[in-house]
Chain A
Amino acid sequence: MKKILVLLCFSVFFAACSSSDSGSDSSGDGYDRTALLTNWADNIIIPSFEDYQSKVTVLQSEVVNFNATPSEENLVAVRTAWLDAYKAFQYVSMFEIGKAEEVALVNCTNIYPTNATGIENNVTTGTYDLMLLSQYDKQGFPAIDYMINGLGTDDATIVTFYTSNGNAANYKQYLTDLTGRLKSNADLIVNDWTGSYRNTFINNNGNAVSSSVNRMVNIVVKNYEKNIRAGKVGIPAGVFSTGTTYTNKVEAYYKNDVSKVLLNEAVKATQDFFNGKHFSSSINGEGLKAYLNYLNVIKDGQSLSTIINNQFTTIFGATALLSDSFSEQIFNDNSKMITAYDELQRNVTFFKTDMMPALNITVDYVDADGD
């Protein structure tokens, strides 16, 4: 009897010590999450935001130039700077955590189709507060797209809105305010990361639902699913509207010939993040790929990280067949858009049903017993 009781006490003691009853924090899988977070912060996220910040700064100064001397030449310069900044944005939109989450970065930077009527109204009245939720669809890159590409059919006409138009001063002011808002958000985010947030982010290195790794992966996957797969391809191609297509819902509709470039940049950014690739460098550091390989996640005899990278290759193969203008592509042959969507979708399922369970990262948190 004594032996049995001793054994019982021993078991209760041990089980109690290891108690991970709620499943929220166990000792984890031994992967160095600090190194992972450090690589993400120092080599990917912060450099990407700094690059975005500098591109936005250039855009802002080009707008200042243009407003001082509205000419076709200066308009082209604004346009170039706008596209550069827009491309840089594709590398940061998935990092909506910390300050970027606080300011709702994507909502106030890239809601499209933009509300042209609303913009005209804002310009006419001259009274608006871009901080309001109701103003999300009248600002950001799509709004600037309208302001520099959509006001007229040729550059000469567009420039007249900033010169001879009765509201020219208001148009100038609106353009200034749009770029100013991009700039102030970029500054806020970069300052936060280079200030205290970097350490907050890295030190939250556990594996609970609120830990940085779990949150970051959830946010990146959500961005891939909603903003890239659905927003850039699925919605305009009619996937979510039983086939009714929307040529006007493509990204950068007024410029029109850059929706493919922007899509490719965004997919590339996601893939680079997955591989832990340092920003604008060929060095691969700790990332989801390394994490999956560390856990030796094999699916159907092939490592999952390879399967996911192969799928990215397939995606780029599918987008290569698309016209630079998605509006035209949808109008001429929407089936290629659908194919691209399906290939993008495949990686959503790889992320959500294959990768996240393997990394023990739940799609949002589930706190309950299993059996």
Chain B
Amino acid sequence: MIEAFKDYFNRTTETVTLAFFRLAFGLMMLFSIVRFLSYGWVEKMYIKPQFHFTFYGFEWVRPLGDFTYVLFLICGLSALMVAIGYKYRIAILVFFLSFTYIELMDKTTYLNHYYFISLVSFIMIFLPANAAYSVDAYRNNAFAFQRVPAWTVDVLKLMLGIVYFYAGLAKLNSDWLEAQPLKMWLPMSGGMPVVGSFLRENWIHYFFSWSGALYDLTIPFLLLYRKTRFFGFILVVVFHVFTKMLFPIGVFPYVMIISTLIFFESGFHYKVLQWLFSKLKLDTSRFENNKVKIQGFKYTNQIKLGFLAFFMMLQLLIPFRYLLYPGELFWTEEGFRFSWRVMLMEKSGYTQFKVIDAKTKEAIHVDNSLFLSPFQEKQMSFQPDFILEYAHYLHDYYKNLGYNEPEVYVESYVALNGRLSQKYIDPNVNLAKENESFKHKTWILPFTDEIKGL
């Protein structure tokens, strides 16, 4: 057993694969940051709103006012440094920290693919991705290796595989297999040329739902095996181009298409980088030094490998944490985030908050738009942890205005996956007295329907 482990960790692969991924990842992240800045979203999402929804345990992570731009600048710069492999270890560490900080500032903007980027950049801190085709390796031959341990590439494949496979598992529920929410979403693009009229067809909704689930579940394996790899990649391109055309999902399709290239043979990555470097008139001969970076098994190496193995194990477990909660996951969203539940449900809500002075019984009906951006209000209206945090904010706000022990109640309705809206939060519970925790939130009213499956 131990021998088998050692055997595996002693296996090596061409560094060029890792270098290719590093370059592609760094450039995509740079593009992503520039895009975010160019849309004015920093101002809109992080500077303008007077209140931000925080992650439990990370309440101290806040936007930095105008310095938020500096944070984005640092993040973009470190992405560029990662891309070219300049002071790589520091660069990827700074990228991971700055990017993750940005994502933790306000959970309104939470997206699974941002989480994916945080995880990948965290893993990359431990990988010798600068051992070839990098400024570091160019300047210092001691850093340059033509071959590196194979696990350094495999761990990234595993991460990608988890994303797809778990996204597929999450689709194995009665709503998705009965074509919800695609039944609601696809007709919204019914005006598209050529395919538009099909998007209103019921069988297309089913076809997209079932093939989407099948795609997610099988794609990691299709990409792993040499014979099916190219076919798998065609599917990757078709799938992500389609989602890009149908939904506003930003850079995610590009990130996934480019990332899956890591599954190809190193010969492909070699050709791409050779072509690129020759265009840039850069010499690559020094990277072909036949040096092999051998995996060490010293105490520190063991800790590092053990830690990464533990980290990947967590990735396998975290998406299943929802099983610890009672009630319907889609309804309570307890354990919904960080689980690769991507584009799984159509949920919309309506909330009317009421703040009551405990002494005078004076009541105020809150106009949410005075406190929240439209985006924040939308996200808040159907997620219990948002509703709770906002209720506490209202409590503090009105307390400052001189209200005696303000009580906060909410009348809320939520519609989920083609069901008619129903009452969501117990209107008789004073939310100011409830606290955030990992425990089940008893003040969420029960879901009146049942969704079967994972």
Contact = CB atoms under 8 A, between A and B. Distances in A.
Interface of A: 1, 3-5, 7-8, 10-12, 14-15, 18-23, 26-31, 240-242, 295-300, 304, 307, 348-350, 352-354, 356-358, 360, 362-371
B235 to A, nearest CB: 11
Interface in B186-201: 187-193, 196-197, 200
A31 B39 CA distance: 29
A29 B111 contact: no
14 contacts: A7-B237, A19-B244, A29-B189, A30-B196, A295-B188, A295-B190, A295-B200, A296-B187, A297-B184, A357-B415, A363-B378, A364-B369, A369-B248, A370-B343
A367 B250 CA distance: 11
B374 A353 contact: no
Contacts of A298: 418
Nearest to B381: A353
Nearest to B253: A15
A12 to B, nearest CB: 8
Contact of A360 (B39, B41, B188, B197): B188
Given A27-B191, A300-B420, A11 B261 contact: no
Contacts of B245: 14-15, 18, 20
Contacts of B112: 371
Contacts of A370: 111, 247-249, 343
B363 A241 contact: yes
B8 interface: no
Given A1-B271, A353-B348, A353-B349, A307 B248 contact: no
Given A10-B237, A371-B249, A366 B374 contact: yes
Contacts of B241: 11, 14-15
Nearest to B115: A371
A21 B421 contact: no
Interface string B346-381: 101110000010000111010001000011011000
B320 interface: no
A242 B356 CA distance: 8
Interface of B: 35, 39, 41, 44-45, 109, 111-113, 184, 187-193, 196-197, 200, 230, 233-234, 237, 240-241, 244-245, 247-254, 257, 261, 264, 267-268, 271-272, 342-343, 346, 348-350, 356, 361-363, 365, 369, 374-375, 377-378, 413-415, 418-421
A365 B374 contact: yes
Given A11-B240, A22-B39, A297-B184, A1 B248 contact: no
Contacts of B249: 369-371
Given A29-B188, A295-B200, 8 more contacts: A20-B245, A26-B248, A27-B191, A31-B190, A349-B350, A350-B420, A350-B421, A354-B420
A356 B112 CA distance: 25
Nearest to B375: A366
Nearest to B109: A368
Nearest to B365: A240
A94 to B, nearest CB: 19
B94 to A, nearest CB: 24
Given A15-B254, A300-B419, A354-B420, A368 B348 contact: no
